[in-house]
Amino acid sequence: MRKFSLKDKIGYMLGDLGNDFFFILASSFLMVFYTKVLGIAGEVVGTLFLVARAVDAVTDITMGRIVDKSKPTKNGRFRPWILRMAVPVVLAGIVMFIPAAKNLTYAGKLVYIYITYLFWGSICYTAINIPYGSMASAITEDPVERTSLSTFRSIGAAIAGVIVSVGVPLFIYTYDSSGNQLILGDRFLPVVLAFGALALICYGLCYILVRERVTPPPKEQDISFGTALKGMLKNRALWAIIAAAIVLLLSSILSNTMNLYLFMDYFKSKEAMSVAGFLQTVCTLLLAPFSAIIAEKFGKKEASGVAVLFTSVIFFLLFMLRIRNPWIFCIFLIFGNLGVGLFNLMIWAFITDVIDSQEVLTGTREDGTVYAVYSFARKIGQALAGGLGGYALTLIGYVSSTENVVQAPEVVERIYTVSTLIPAICYFIVAVILIFWYPLSKKRIAENQRIIKKQHANS
């Protein structure tokens, strides 16, 4: 077994890059595809996202238990799932964005979106993402190396974010004959086919480059879910990071969803929409070289709490100023994205710390189950964000139509309010959770590592 190296970091980064080609595309544009191309009402789409999360409550935990109970092979316990599920998850992602579905009856469209979205998100994506996320704690035991894995994973997500957020709007939107109104074209299928090919390449390289080095003792593989859950109930760090993740995703994904309508109907600029998506991810890339240094010097909990609080202040300013110029709005987004970007770079290292905390509390290690619980919590945040996005559009009077409807002025103003005030409040809540509730300070993490090393030495 070769030592942990840059190969592992790049391979792990490519795994998330492969995941996020479709995850970010679905998070950012599936609502638009459903409402603008298929003509489905926003509240109907919101209900679909909530129903899917109820299904995930079963599939996520089931997959976590399957991973934890499986016996390691010569290629590891988690890594083989990347190879098994690469093709199914890509095909499922492509089928979600078939423009020909607009020719179905309304009932047919509902059947189509429910079957395809549940098959992609609750089955295929779960079966590849749970093993992929759990694999980080098996690649290395070293906290610094795990932080670097988290950083590289976030870089993968940021690269996918740049490609999706910058490239997709420029490709799928056009202007009408007057040059003032954005029109959604019929170009989704070429986009998803290209992303499918790129995702398959990334999954293959992830499997080739990554190695698993940490294997729990065989006796830890037979723990019942009830016993594991009982131990997790004592893990304050797990529930704090779950709460932070739900609120953070509520803010981030709701912002991504509403920003599409903000730049389309309020600013009326696809160029600014593209730049805004670029800024959201490029800030993460700019911070990447410094995240491990900051974490080592100040601690992940300490640095992230202050950074997210700073982002909250930026969005409060955007809400109060009611900016009309899209480029000035983008300048403010730079500073806001820097704050939340730092936390996003470290978030996966938070999870490995939580898994270690679980082992300290219970004496057993359940990487897959703990990660599955956390993954399900993230999906709850995604569902609430996507659902509230759809309900918010309906509540503020947004007209969903396959025609290019010009929204009423009061509706456009409400879009701006939702796009700025809700994120400001959510980011403030996340900061409070990290500062006052999440217990794994820099000192506590070092103590947990000492305890785990002693337990492993005695096993």
Which residue intervals of 2-135 are DSSP H helices? Answer: 6-32, 42-69, 79-95, 106-118, 126-134
DSSP state of 76: B
Residue type, 104: L
Judge contact between 279 and 255, C-beta under 8 A. Answer: no
Strand partners, 173: 184
Measured between alpha carbons, how far is 46 from 48 in angstroms, rounded to an integer?
A: 5
- Supply the pLDDT for residue 169: 79
User: For the CA atoms of the chain, what is the radius of gyration?
Assistant: 22
Tokens representing 125 are 């994506």
Residue type, 337: N
- Supply the pLDDT for residue 177: 57
Helix (H) or strand (E) holding 174: strand 173-175
DSSP state of 366: -
Q: What is the pLDDT of residues 340-392, one digit of tens each?
A: 888 888 888 898 889 888 888 887 777 788 888 888 887 777 666 666 777 77
Measured between alpha carbons, how far is 23 from 17 in angstroms, rounded to an integer?
A: 10
Measured between alpha carbons, how far is 48 from 118 in angstroms, rounded to an integer?
A: 9
Q: Is 154 helix (H, G, I), strand (E, B) or coil?
A: helix
Residue 334 burial by Cβ neighbours in a 10 Å radius (0-12, 13-18, 19+): middle
Tokens representing 300 are 């992940």
- Supply the pLDDT for residue 158: 81
- Supply the pLDDT for residue 47: 86
Measured between alpha carbons, how far is 46 from 25 in angstroms, rounded to an integer?
A: 17
- pTM listed for this prediction: 0.73
Residue 278 burial by Cβ neighbours in a 10 Å radius (0-12, 13-18, 19+): middle
Tokens representing 99 are 């423009």
Question: Mean pLDDT over residues 398-408, rounded?
Answer: 69
Residues counted in the chain:
459
Q: What is the pLDDT of residues 41-79, one digit of tens each?
A: 888 888 888 888 888 878 988 898 888 887 778 888 899
DSSP state of 186: S
Q: How confident is the model at residue 204 (pLDDT cuts 50, 70, 90)?
A: very high
Judge contact between 340 and 252, C-beta under 8 A. Answer: yes
